[in-house]
Structure 1
Amino acid sequence: DAQIQRRLANIFGQISELSRVTVTVRDGVVILGGEVSRESQAERAVNLALRVQGAVTVEDAIERTLDVGDNLEPALDQLRDGASQTLRAAPLIAVAVAVFLVIGLVGNFIARRDGLWHRLAPNGFLAELLAQSFRFVAWTVAVLAALSVLGATTLLGTVLGGAGVIGLAIGFAVRDTLENYISSIMLSLRQPFRANDHVIINEHEGKVVRLTSRATVLMTLDGNHLRIPNSTVFKGTILNYTRNPERRFDFSLGVDANDDPVAAMSTALAAIRGLDFVLDDPAPNSVISSVGDSNIVLLFVAWVDQRETDFGKARSLAIRAAKNALEGAGFTLPEPIYRLRFDSSVTLPAGAASVSQVAAPEPQRPVPPSIVDAEALDVSPDTHLEEKVNAERAEEAEHDLLDDDRPVE
């Protein structure tokens, strides 16, 4: 017991903040008394006593005085030591700051050279992306170099580790945004369409207004704005009607089952070929699509040049020409026929006519107008949407990633 007591007294005597702690040992039980300034000092004394060989347990009877002066003095000592160390390290800190500023400012200067990045990148969007990435890398290298000069290798490892964890967390949080951003880069490189192209992207149809860093902007056929995320566009199906100016239309007409379908096809095709807007090459064509109970369905196809002809108007007038030609040649365009079956047990009232005796009334055909409105026969393309798109592209200042100087995919 005396040996334990002497050892602890010597230990506490070497520590100024524990010099007022008293030690009593009875049968291996260490009883600590006296006083200390704060709780942390008492806990330290107890921990030291428990580590002495032979001590069975420790009874804490130390009084915590919580004296203001005693508690404030260690903090002031730490501040003085910190200030002294900072003054001694001032030249090294100045060198680290200089290294940080030189690397960062040089990197920022290079990142602001727009001409350099536009020569390296295929479009303005990628040029800006490369410049911003270079600026970020330059300042990151500046921070790492400054920490290396200060010898803060432990802090450097902590910073890199923390940056990796934070980057991983941010990556999971904004993965949809990153996917959309990467899709924007790929679309700017691929250039899948041009401004004013008539496209269908998945189920969305319209004229292309512009390609931004976030979305593809379409003007729908009814004049509304539609913004589609670029990630959807990149992964979606794109049907471009403008890329090939020649476009095929088709329609079906039926003739009576008793009529000759080949003669009907020849008559209608002659009428279609006579239309100025129908292309001779590829030539119009027709096939028998199906045979019904009372009619034969004929499928007609023809091509138009979309640069000079409106697709919908051309198809409408071709249907009109084929129908009039068939009717003028005596072919019957069948009407729906319904067959009624009556049970033999049903008897008709006295004086009622039989079903076979009831004659269907002769349909009244509309008299065609002698003069057809010239506007109805005009198949020139409707340029209203194209003019709206051009006007918006001229007014809006939003950056467009579509580049007429780059090849279309």
Structure 2
Amino acid sequence: MELSETLHFDIDAVSQRLMDELYSLLAALPMLLLALLVIWLGWALGGWLSRRALLERVARRNPFMRELTRTSVRWAVSLLAVLVALEIMNATALVGAVLGTAGVLGVALGFAFKDTLENYLAGLLMSLRQPFAPRDHVVIDGNEGIVVALTSRATILMTLDGNHLRLPNALVFRSVTLNYTRNPSRRFQFDVGIGVSEDLIQAQQLGTDCIAALEGVLSEPPPRAYIVALADSSVQVRFQGWVDQRSHDFGLLKSEAIRQVKGVLEAAGMDLPEPIYRVQMIEPGQVHQAVQPTKSASAMAQGAVDTRATADLGPQIEADQRARSEQDLLDPAAPRE
């Protein structure tokens, strides 16, 4: 047998096969057009349903949930339309293959975008039950600042230094959050070393009376003083007071309390020893004289510092919120944890 006869190519068989496929395609063309029409109608119906007022009422206070609900409804209706179209084309066997491929692809994408999906889910959960409100003073995982916004991926803080701090929602969701704003009453405290030979009860009374007289210090709970330690050359007395953060600045009032208490104790002749060792040489029969105050209590009270609440970061936070293109998910009227 010659080689040319062995390699003979039958073009007629190929042509017949192509013509059969073409006839099949032409025969299925009306059903294909009908299937495409069903998919288009499903997409249009999904868009119409996603704009209904019912969905607005379901998530009217949560823009994140509102957008998620709209998208979910539209894609669910569209997917149902695709399944109907495949049934029309008698291609339901393709559904299993598509779902299997989608499952494998979903697992791969889940591992690839694990952090992104985790932040997105954490943002969704926090938008439903918000752990803080706008302008709250919080400490999250050691990061302190004022809450500016909550987005789908991150929580934005303005640090007390005026810096922009962006925390991933997943970190915020699993971290311990300290909220200074939730309870407007906040306690400050400081320690003062009193000489070991002084009247500690008098020192405590002088200090608490001084703190109670300061503007911004709450009368309930009242200021208190405790003896907390006996040092080498002094007795440590801890003074405490409560401040309403809505009207007065915590740091300024604490600073003023320390200044005023120090002045009152010195004016009363109290010894406030330095943390050093001192050798006192006293002649026999010599009486120890109390240190005379250099200023009177009324003189020390003069020149009081303004401790009212400040809004140094207010203009910066407002400017940041105006310039933000992404929608803020925080709502002052939303339920809190």
Match of 2:53 among 108, 115, 132: 115
Deviation of 1:130 (Å):
1.1
Aligned equivalent of 1:136:
75
* Paired position in structure 2 for 1:287: 226
- 1:268, 1:217 → 2: CA distance? 41
Question: Are the counterparts in 1 of residues 264 and 300 from structure 2 also a CA contact under 8 Å?
Answer: no
Separation (CA, whole Å) in 2 of partners of 1:72 and 1:300:
103
Shift of 1:74: 4.6
Contact residue 118 and residue 124 of structure 1 kept, 8 A: no
Aligned match for 2:154, one of 196, 203, 215:
215
Following the alignment from structure 1 to structure 2, what is the Cα–Cα distance between the partners of residues 195 and 274? 33
Alpha-carbon RMSD: 2.7
What is aligned with 1:387? 315
Where relative contact order (Cα < 8 A, 6+ residues apart) is larger, the structure is 2
Counterpart position of 2:286 = none
1:248 and 1:114 map into 2 onto residues whose CA distance is 50
Q: Which residue in 1 is equivalent to 2:114?
A: 175
Counterpart in the other structure of 2:285: none
- 1:197–1:242: 8 Å Cα contact kept in structure 2? yes
- Equivalent residue of 1:251, what SS? strand
- Unpaired stretches in structure 2, ≥5 consecutive residues: 283-290
1:36 to partner: Cα distance: 7.2
Deviations 1:274-304 (A, max 9, x none): 2122111110001001001221000000011
Secondary structure at the residue paired with 1:384? coil
Against the structure 1 CA distance between its residues 97 and 388, is the aligned structure 2 distance closer, same or farther, given a 3 Å change threshold? same
- Per-residue deviation, 1:162: 1.0
Kindly tell me the number of residue pairs found equivalent between the two proteins. 325
> In the alignment, what sits opposite 2:39?
100
* 1:264, distance to aligned residue in structure 2 (A): 1.1
Instruction: Report how far residue 268 of structure 1 moved.
Output: 1.4
Give, in whole Å, the separation in 1 of the partners of 2:101 and 2:276.
80
CA deviations over 1:221-241 (Å, ceiling 9, x no partner) = 010110111111111111111
TM-score by length of 2: 0.88
Are residues 1:159 and 2:98 paired?
Answer: yes
Q: Which amino acid aligns with 1:178?
A: L
Given candidates 243, 261, 266, the residue that maps to 2:200 is 261
Cα shift readout 1:167-188 (whole Å, capped 9, x = no counterpart): 1211222122111111111110
Cα deviation for residue 395 of structure 1 reads 4.1
Matches within 5 A, 1:7-406: 35=3, 63-64=6-7, 70=9, 73-111=12-50, 113=51, 115-121=53-59, 122-338=61-277, 377-406=305-334
Q: Which moved more, 1:179-188 or 1:88-97?
A: 88-97
User: Compared with structure 1, are the counterparts of its residues 71 and 108 closer, same or farther at alpha carbon in structure 2 (3 Å cutoff)?
Assistant: farther
Gaps of at least 5 residues in structure 1 are: 1-32, 38-62, 341-354, 358-362
The Cα of 1:387 is off from its aligned counterpart by: 3.0
Instruction: Give the Cα–Cα distance (whole angstroms) in 1 for the partners of residues 162 and 11 of structure 2.
Output: 75
Aligned partners of 1:225 and 1:114: how far apart in 2? 38
CA distance in 2, matches of 1:274, 1:371: 13
Asked which structure has the greater CA Rg, the reply is: 1
The separation in 2 between residues aligned to 1:290 and 1:85, in whole angstroms, is 96
Amino acid of the residue matched to residue 188 of structure 1? S
- The CA distance in 2 between the partners of 1:114 and 1:209, in whole Å, is 31
* Deviation larger for 298-307 or 151-160: 151-160
Residue 356 of structure 1, CA deviation: 7.3
Indicate the percent of aligned positions where both proteins have the same amino acid.
Answer: 42
State the alpha-carbon separation in 2 of the partners of residues 175 and 366 from structure 1. 67
Q: Which letter maps to 1:152?
A: A
1:322 partner SS: helix
Q: Which amino acid aligns with 2:163?
A: N
Q: TM-score, normalised to structure 1's length?
A: 0.73
Measure the CA separation in 2 of the matches of 1:253 and 1:400: 46
Cα separation, partners in 2 of 1:35 and 1:120, compared to 1, 3 Å: farther
> 2:249 and 2:321 mapped to 1: Cα distance?
23
Task: Using the TM superposition, give the Cα deviation of residue 163 of structure 1 relative to its aligned residue in structure 2, in angstroms.
Answer: 1.3
**Could you tell me whether the CA contact under 8 Å between 1:207 and 1:219 is conserved in 2?**
yes
